[in-house]
Amino acid sequence: MSAYEYKGTTTATILVVDDDPGARLLVGTALEMAGFRIDTAADGATALKQFREHPADCVVLDVVMPGMSGFDVCSALRAMPECRHVPILMQTSLDDMESVNRAYNAGATDFSSKGINPMLLAQRVKFLVRAKETQDQLRESEARVRYLAYYDPLTALPNRQRLLQILDQQVAWAEPRQRGLAVLMLDVDNFSRINDTQGQAVGDVLLKEVAHRLQNCLRDTQRTLNQAEDGFEKKDINDWVARTGGDEFALALPGISTAEAAQAVAQRVQRALARPFVFAQAEIPLSASMGISLFPGDAATAETLVKNADAAMHHGKKSGQGGLEFFNKSISTRAAKHLSMEADLRKALERGEFTLNYQPRLALKDLRVEAVEALIRWKHPQRGFVAPDEFIPLAEQNGMIVEIGDWVLREACAQARRWRDAGTSAWQVAVNVSGVQFRDGSLVSRVSRAIDAAGIESRMIELEFTEGALIEYSAAVSKAVKSLKELGVATALDDFGTGYSSLSYLRHFPIDTLKIDRAFVRDIASKTGGNAPLVDAIIAMAKSLGLATVAEGVETEAQWQYLKTRDANQVQGFLFCRPLAIADLQRWHDDWLHAHQLNAASVA
Ligand code: C2E
Ligand code: CA
Ligand code: CA
């Protein structure tokens, strides 16, 4: 081996193009001694043909040749995609500025004068080839970075960024051809629960399987490929699945222009996901909520198509899971309102726009106030009072409920302290907490800190959470409820009967109180009797489990008369008192004691 040996990873091939056989021999030998493989060509046309058949790693090119000049060969080589990054060294006996410029303009990488010592020329080529290798590696890692920026590593699907690029292409393709385009957004229902209960590893496998099934729902790839016309990234004008978020996927469906056609795809997706997923002998049933928007009717750009399909999906999710919703204008108005409300909500805490109202819970047997439920109110500077049903779900979605809930806790504890200090009443204060607060994991420590800061006993606080939260975040709720019990904080299951948990399921949660949803209370006193037997059964079973019961939403005298004959512990509702600000509640309470000839002193 010679001292000039080329030390690359593989043997590089150099194409030497020269009409002079002597020059070819000299240069070729020097390059071979330096460790390269050599291809030669005596004219431009042969050189191009040769390169096309066996691309070289570097080209040494003579300028003055019969037929095509070296400059022309250089331009032609550069035009070939496979030669785009290959170094071309031009050899000219005309060592003048003009030909150097022409070589540069033709795309040459470097030049040397023709008389140069061939051994030196070989060294020069070594530098060029090594520089190319470094650049190739750089390009490779760039490609890797690009991949990570545009693809999801778990499922290898395009991510949201890439989806938007694809849709840009599809919109540009569809528009002049007056073709349609559908975007379908899909969100796996209750995925966080699966992650919580089965572990993230199972969650990941599940997502991969979902990705796989979705891809099988796409239309025949070849057919759509053939429809795509030149001038476009053909592969972009195709059905695509993308993963746009944790448990969110999107389908891009170019050429689909009617709701019916889009619906057919959605139904195929629903069927594909309906087959149970089997992991370690356990079957996990799955459903997904979907939203569809259509180009050009619903939106004119990639971004709005995605946004609108997303809005439709979330809108559908509100009215139940596993549904399919098409975008319409009223959804977009709502979504816009949603956005501006979200921005305002972020400021509301700082600006002190929240207050708490309190609604009494009365002992069924003597109508004394035993507890009050804290209910949040948002006084927006322009909108006026915004109902909790409007902003709590929003705050749950964007996670702000954790901060807002913390404020509610601290404020409610401080108020409990004020009532205790006033000496007239020792009301237990019930605070509503959402499932998201359980999921956050900081709830118990926040509760404990709020209680300490206010300097009250733990038993003065009760947390109310819904059956829905209990089902969706069962693992987190179970853990928290046990800790709360140790802390001495009472717990109540709110809106009981609206979810699907059985009373026996509740055995796993050491809850103190059941609040029977007002939907059941509503028609206990109707002529047909409606839910009366159900309410009776809930009260009886709760009792057997050692749980207290509260009938909420009592609005009429008739409902009250019925409940009086039953064995519930507390009643709550507009019939007795609406949620009130502190001063109003105090006045109401004074009147209430008076009207029922109750003794204030004995209340504490
Ligand atoms: P909820 O926990 O079921 O609270 C009871 C709701 O029923 C309150 O509505 C109350 O005003 C209303 N209500 C009370 N008695 C009657 C009645 O006799 N008839 C009727 N029709 N309604 C009655 P509000 O204050 O609008 O709160 C709505 C929901 O917002 C609450 O339902 C609760 O889920 C949520 N919420 C309120 N405050 C908070 C809070 O601080 N944190 C959290 N996470 N959620 C809250
Ligand atoms: Ca409640
Ligand atoms: Ca309730």
For residue 448, tell me if it sits in a domain. Answer: yes
Residue with CA nearest ligand 1 atom 3: 495
Rounded to an integer, what distance in angstroms lies between the CA atom of residue 120 and that of residue 37?
A: 17
pLDDT at position 46 is: 96
428 and 488 in a single domain? The answer is yes
Q: Is the pTM of this model over 0.85?
A: no
Side-chain-side CA neighbours of residue 375 (13 Å): 18
Q: Choose one of 128, 150, 172: the last residue of a domain.
A: 150
In 3D, which of 97, 83, 92 has the Cα closest to residue 121? 92
Residue with CA nearest ligand 1 atom 45: 432
Count the domains in the chain. Answer: 3
398 and 464 in a single domain? The answer is yes
Q: Are 493 and 432 in contact (CB under 8 A)?
A: no
Going from the Cα of 409 to the center of ligand 1, the distance in angstroms, rounded, reads 16
The dihedral sign for the CA sequence 234, 238, 241, 244: positive
Cross-strand bridge partners of residue 465: 493
Rounded to an integer, what distance in angstroms lies between the CA atom of residue 153 and that of residue 146?
A: 12
- The continuous run of DSSP H or E covering 444 comes out as helix 443-454
CATH number at residue 165: 3.30.70.270
357 and 495 in a single domain? The answer is yes
For residue 335, tell me if it sits in a domain. Answer: no
Q: Choose one of 101, 126, 150: the last residue of a domain.
A: 150
For residue 15, tell me if it sits in a domain. Answer: yes
For residue 186, tell me if it sits in a domain. Answer: yes
pLDDT at position 225 is: 42
pLDDT at position 94 is: 58
The SS3 assignment for 320 reads coil
Going from the Cα of 338 to the center of ligand 1, the distance in angstroms, rounded, reads 21
352 and 465 in a single domain? The answer is yes
- Which ligand has the minimum distance to the alpha carbon of residue 392? 1
Give the range of the structural domain holding residue 538, as residue numbers without chain letter.
Answer: 341-597
Question: Pocket of ligand 1, candidates 385, 432, 461, 473: which has the most ligand atoms within 8 Å of its Cβ, to mutate?
Answer: 432
Place of tokens 């001495």: 488
For residue 432 and ligand 1, the question of a CB distance below 6 A is answered with yes
The angle formed by the CA atoms of residues 276, 201 and 203, to the nearest 5 degrees, is 40
For residue 187, tell me if it sits in a domain. Answer: yes
406 and 319 in a single domain? The answer is no
111 and 196 in a single domain? The answer is no
Rounded to an integer, what distance in angstroms lies between the CA atom of residue 247 and that of residue 305?
A: 19
Q: Choose one of 261, 296, 327: the last residue of a domain.
A: 327
Rounded to an integer, what distance in angstroms lies between the CA atom of residue 15 and that of residue 46?
A: 11
For residue 170, tell me if it sits in a domain. Answer: yes
482 and 539 in a single domain? The answer is yes
In 3D, which of 253, 265, 249, 194 has the Cα closest to residue 224? 253
For residue 410, tell me if it sits in a domain. Answer: yes
In 3D, which of 423, 429, 434, 418 has the Cα closest to residue 467? 434
Q: Are 151 and 163 in contact (CB under 8 A)?
A: no
Cβ neighbours for 528, distance < 8 A, ≥ 6 positions apart: none
pLDDT at position 138 is: 87
Rounded to an integer, what distance in angstroms lies between the CA atom of residue 434 and that of residue 238?
A: 42
Q: Which long-range contacts (CB under 8 A, 24 or more apart) does 133-136 make?
A: 133/8, 133/9, 135/85, 136/85
pLDDT at position 502 is: 66
365 and 421 in a single domain? The answer is yes
Rounded to an integer, what distance in angstroms lies between the CA atom of residue 41 and that of residue 192?
A: 65
pLDDT at position 223 is: 43
Cβ neighbours for 493, distance < 8 A, ≥ 6 positions apart: 464, 465, 466, 467, 470, 506, 509, 511, 513, 514, 515
For residue 555 and ligand 1, the question of a CB distance below 6 A is answered with yes
For residue 457, tell me if it sits in a domain. Answer: yes
295 and 182 in a single domain? The answer is yes
Residue 570 is classified by DSSP as: E
Q: Are 477 and 435 in contact (CB under 8 A)?
A: yes
112 and 166 in a single domain? The answer is no
**pLDDT lower than 50: segments of the chain:** 1-5, 221-230, 601-604
Q: Are 386 and 395 in contact (CB under 8 A)?
A: no
322 and 370 in a single domain? The answer is no
CATH number at residue 561: 3.20.20.450
Dump pLDDT digits (tens) for 43-76: 999 999 999 999 999 999 999 899 999 999 999 9
CATH number at residue 47: 3.40.50.2300
Going from the Cα of 366 to the center of ligand 1, the distance in angstroms, rounded, reads 24
36 and 165 in a single domain? The answer is no
